[in-house]
Amino acid sequence: MTEEIKYKNIFLVGFMGAGKTTVGRVLADKIGYSFVDPDQVLEENAGSTISVIFSEFGEDYFRDLESKTLKTISTGERQVIATGGGVVIRDRNWDIMEQAGLTVYLKAPIEVLFERIKDSTHRPLLQVENPLKRARELLDSREHLYQKAVLIIDTENLSVTGVAEEIVKVLNY
Ligand code: S3P
């Protein structure tokens, strides 16, 4: 008898600093799925870092690679996929994710998110004079897109394990 798969893949979406990677690893472990970080796969395939890709070829080029990487990864199954924060801006990425699994938005207020990302040097969108202002604007412009996810988890008062446990509970794994 073949074992039933509840969801072919679980796509974690959310802003930079939402905990997609940390929660994703714990969640994958809990439900026996593999964990995939598309940005890491993209960097390995490109032989370059996201920062360098942004500065040498621009954001559109990065977004093309991001969509291609997402598409390839989505052919697999039993994966928890920690998408990059900007994956939600392209409609075709939603088509890919909705076809290949379930989307989960890890939601947190900008103050919490910014506290986690303020010192990072590998996020090119925040390498500006006023990163908090930029982060606020970006989140404001994306919030309605993140809200398209099937499941929305308010992570503000939860630990990493707490978020993973909440997802397991709600999805009834
Ligand atoms: C981006 C988020 C990053 C990375 C790139 C662009 C964004 O991923 O894909 O720097 O547009 O929000 P994380 O959300 O994992 O930081």
CA distance between the termini of the chain: 19
Using the atom order of ligand 1, give the atom closest to the CA of residue 51: 10
Q: State CA 20 to chain mean position distance.
A: 5
Identity of the amino acid at 22:
T
In this prediction, residue 5 carries a pLDDT of 79
**Collapsed DSSP state (helix, strand, coil) of residue 10:** strand
Judge whether 19 lies within some domain: yes
CATH number at residue 38: 3.40.50.300
Instruction: Tell me the per-residue pLDDT of 2-32, one tens digit each, with 9 for 90 and over.
Output: 566 789 999 999 999 999 999 999 999 999 9
What's the 1 CA to ligand 1 centre distance in angstroms? Answer: 40
Let me know if residue 116 belongs to a domain.
Answer: yes
Mean pLDDT of the chain: 96
Tens of pLDDT along 127-167? 999 999 999 999 999 999 999 999 999 999 999 999 999 99
Would you place residue 42 in the very low, low, confident or very high pLDDT band (cuts 50, 70, 90)?
very high
Is 168 a domain residue?
no
Tell whether 170 is covered by a domain.
no
* 1 within domain boundaries: no
Ligand 1 pocket, residues with Cβ under 6 angstroms = 16, 20, 39, 50, 84-86, 123-125
- Specify the pLDDT at position 52: 97
> Rounded distance, CA 96 to CA 74, Å?
7
**Which mutation among 50, 123, 155 tests ligand 1's pocket best, with the greatest number of atoms within 8 A of CB?**
123
Inform me whether the pLDDT recorded for 109 exceeds 60: yes
Q: Is residue 172 part of a domain?
A: no
Query: What is the span of the domain harbouring residue 75?
Result: 9-162
Mutate to test the pocket of ligand 1, among 15, 16, 59 (most ligand atoms within 8 A of CB): 16
Task: Supply the pLDDT for residue 2.
Answer: 54
Q: How many domains does the chain have?
A: 1
In a domain? residue 167: no
> What is d(CA 30, CA 154) in angstroms, rounded to the nearest whole number?
20
Q: Is residue 171 part of a domain?
A: no
Q: Which atom of ligand 1 is nearest to the CA of 86?
A: 11
Interatomic CA distance for residues 102 and 151, integer angstroms: 8
DSSP 150: S
Model confidence pTM above 0.95 = yes
